[in-house]
Amino acid sequence: MSTSAPAPHLDVATPERVALTLPVAGIGYRCLAWLVDASLLFAVWVALYFIVTLLLTDVLGALQALSGVGQTLLALGLFATQWLYWTLAEVFFHGQTVGKRVLGIRVVRMDGSPVGVFESAVRNICRVLDFLPVLYATGCITMLLTRQHRRLGDLLAGTVLVREEAINLDAYTTPAAERPAPSAAERPLSTEEVELVLAFLSRARNLEPGVRKRLGTRLVDRVGAHLSDAERDAVLRSADATETFLRVRARAGH
């Protein structure tokens, strides 16, 4: 009986020594994300074109009247604008452009940490090479030949695209109605609970604020049943207070 090949993934270890497996984004995810971003950029350029036509009666004539240096600078400016879009979005929005966000994928370093300015700048300037000879042919061939679907820019920058995984705490938390009454004693955590808390802490900074608060609250309810109402309110007052409490509980559970 034949067995299917395992899906591409990225194995990383958090500072708390918790092993995580992140699913790698395939070519389909990447192409769709690129189409979303390219459509957005195209819409912006079309809007700018119509704005310019309000100021110049003959835009094409004005472009043709530019000298060779002027046309070269214009082409470089168009590329630089797109390069800045991809780079700044990935750096300031946790590895996600609009297209990557829609598709639920993000760029990370090979150790799973958030991508930095250098890595994002390198992988995006290499789009010129990945695009050759047309329509990202080089990039697609490279992705097909590498185990984790990395294009040339990813190989040079040390990055990979992973799919976001939703942590379904409903499978781990006890419904409120069945939750045991708070106890004055602080019970030790199970190994599963410790790993669950540490996995959350390792990803908390990359989560949306609302998701971060919701998951943190559910974990506090799970591992902080001994807290009084006042203590619980204090723990949930801020993300830092919540994660500090969870970190202390996880350490105590070792």
pLDDT digits (tens, 9 = 90+) for 154-167: 999 999 999 886 54
Question: HEC states along 103-164?
Answer: HCEEEEECCCCECCHHHHHHHHHCHHHHHCCCCCHHHHHHHHHCCCCCCHHHHHHCEEEEEC
CA atoms within 13 A on the CB side of 221: 17
Q: Distance between CA atoms of 23 and 25, rounded to whole angstroms? A: 7
pLDDT at 173 over 80: no
Return the number of other C-beta atoms located less than 10 Å from residue 181's C-beta.
5
Q: pTM value?
A: 0.66
Say which amino acid occupies 230: A
Look over the chain and give the mean of its residue pLDDT values, rounded to a whole number: 82
**Which one is predicted more confidently, 113 or 93?**
93
Q: Specify the pLDDT at position 132.
A: 92
- pLDDT tens-digit profile of 38-90? 999 999 999 998 898 888 888 888 888 888 888 889 888 888 999 999 999 99
Q: Specify the pLDDT at position 1.
A: 46
Q: Specify the pLDDT at position 14.
A: 59
Q: Specify the pLDDT at position 13.
A: 64
pLDDT at 247 over 50: yes
- pLDDT tens-digit profile of 177-221? 444 444 445 677 776 677 778 778 877 877 778 888 888 888 888
